[in-house]
Amino acid sequence: MQGASAAGDERELELSPEAMRAMVRQAMERVVPFVESLPRQPAADVSGALELARSLAEPLPQAPTPLPELLDLLFRDLLPKSFNAAGPGYLAYIPGGGIFHAAVADLIADAVNRYVGVFIAAPALVQLEANVVRWFAGIVGYPETARGILTTGGSLANFTAVVTARRNRLADDFLRGTIYASDQVHHSVVKAAILAGFPEGNIREVASDARFRIRLDLLRARLAEDRAKGLEPFLLVGSAGTTNTGAVDDLAALAALAAEEENLWFHVDAAYGGFLMLTERGRERMRGIERADSVTLDPHKALFLPYGNGSLLVRDGAALRRAHTISAHYMPEMQEDPDLIDFCEYSPELSRDFRGLRIWLPLKMHGIEPFRRNLDEKLDLTEWAAGELAKLPGIEIVAAPQLTVVAFRIVKAGAAGPELNALNRRLLARINARQRVFLTGTMLGERFVIRICVLSFRTHRDRVEAALEDIRAALGDV
């Protein structure tokens, strides 16, 4: 495609049919080989990337640049200098996915640019997104009264949950309200509470047990102590898959405590673990989640969507609506029929992308089975990896898999504390230096551990075997 002429005219941004086709064709000529080569790309390569990043700072462009030149810059120079987060060797943090279908859905959604913030603007498209939310509610085991929203990720979902709990359970003067979670809870929950207006001191991180699950005895004691001080406990956050170790709190016990003993809003952060409920093992481990008042689920984790896809479900949909409804004269009339959803009445957002299409399209094209099979495979692979690690001399499994994370470290006679941690950091660096897999570490109390998280739909047995080979080889080096 020709770059626009410098002289141009005011119609220059309205591409001709031919120009649209050419643009997509040229992009696809780069995208397809790139995606196809993901397994052969280094698992992570950011050498020189800092200098590269600095070299890119530039003023607002005044002159046009031809598309091929820009695609070259992206695919040849920039993309290779990053973590290969869509590749099979990405066993770090919580892997995202990147199913291609979502990219096609985005192309359609962005090109047609219909408005889904209010029902009346595109009733049928809003219904597709409402279907996606309903499917998710079904996975969690929620009743018909549940409602929810698609967000850009788990952080925004957790934030919306905290605001919803606050607006439903506390008065406008809410600073005596206190929030409870384990010391393993994702930091987005703490951030959400702060952004929702709570001082950091109102967030109680309760110690966890040997399997990294919140200790109920300590939780009860802390609640009693706070009530005695005249504080207002109102929100309990459980984890269904912590980022550190994949630990799942005893959700049934937490739900009972929240509803029957303490009258708390019970939110479950299932951003990572939630979609594992598609499997029998996941459902068993997350029993009790259906009693939560709200649940965060991230399609860009265990539903293999690309980054930018989270969701929040609220069991009593009216509570979500109460927390977010504000009217204005310029807005169209909102729907009264509870089956017809104005998403802006349930969400902090008004104008936004038609993000439901990204999820609707692959689920309709494939049905849920391939997703379920993939997740079962990831559970198996993690158990297999843990079993193999346990056979290695000097390796201690610090957190056995509850979902698809296993955490381990090397132990050495006479080495402890910072010295042992430094040894494990070296081991991690050696494993990653081979560039077939990319692992990350974390601190569990005073212990630095290395994690393997198997969650990408592109990760299969061959890559987990490669991880084990590289761990064995690296053990010989440290």
Ligand X SMILES: Cc1ncc(COP(=O)(O)O)c(C=O)c1O
Residues of this chain that interact with ligand X (CB under 6 A) are: 94, 153-155, 186, 188, 241, 243, 269, 271-272, 298, 310
Query: Is the Cβ–Cβ distance between 190 and 203 less than 8 Å?
Result: yes
CB of 300 to ligand X, least distance (A): 6
CB of 101 to ligand X, least distance (A): 19
Report the residue number, 94 or 474, with the smaller CB distance to ligand X. 94
**Token couple for 282:** 């996941």
Give me the least distance between CB of 273 and ligand X, in Å please: 7
Distance CA 297, CA 279 (A): 15
Asked if 446 and 417 touch (Cβ cutoff 8 Å), the reply is yes
- Per-residue tokens: 185: 């809870």
φ/ψ of residue 147, rounded to 5: -140, 170
Q: Where are the beta strands (DSSP E) in 200-355?
A: 203-206, 232-239, 265-270, 294-297, 310-314
Q: How far is the CB of 279 from ligand X (least distance, A)?
A: 18
What is the rounded distance in angstroms from the CA atom of residue 205 to the CA atom of residue 138? Answer: 30
Choice between 271 and 320, CB closer to ligand X: 271
Tokens of 142: 């929620």
Q: Which helix (H) or strand (E) holds 109?
A: helix 100-112
Q: Which is nearer to ligand X, 155 or 374 (CB)?
A: 155
Which runs of consecutive H residues, i.e. helices, occur in 141-228?
154-169, 187-195, 216-228
254 CB burial (10 A radius; 0-12, 13-18, 19+): buried
| CA 20 remoteness from chain centre | 33
Q: Shortest distance, CB of residue 309 to ligand X, whole angstroms?
A: 8
Least distance to ligand X, CB of residue 154, Å: 3
Name the minimum Å distance from CB 393 to ligand X: 32
Residue with Cβ nearer ligand X (125 or 454) = 454
Residue 423: strand, helix, or coil? helix
To ligand X, the closest distance from the beta carbon of 294 in angstroms equals 13
Closer of 34 and 307 to ligand X (Cβ) = 307
**Between residues 118 and 379, which has the closer beta carbon with respect to ligand X?**
379
CA nearest 82: which of 301, 293, 307, 279? 307
- Positive or negative, the CA dihedral 140, 129, 368, 273 is negative
Question: What's the min distance (Å) between Cβ of 70 and ligand X?
Answer: 28
CB of 312 to ligand X, least distance (A): 11
The residue (of 277 and 468) whose beta carbon lies closer to ligand X is 277
φ, ψ (nearest 5 deg) of residue 154: -70, -35
Q: Is the CA virtual torsion 274, 277, 282, 284 positive or negative? A: positive
Calculate the CA 375 to chain-centre distance. 15
CA 300 – CA 151 distance, rounded (Å): 11
The smaller minimum CB distance to ligand X, of residues 130 and 247, is found at 247
- Compare residues 454 and 474 and give the one whose CB is closer to ligand X: 454
Backbone angles phi, psi at 386, to 5 degrees: -65, -40
Kindly tell me which of 92 and 126 has the beta carbon lying closer to ligand X.
Answer: 92
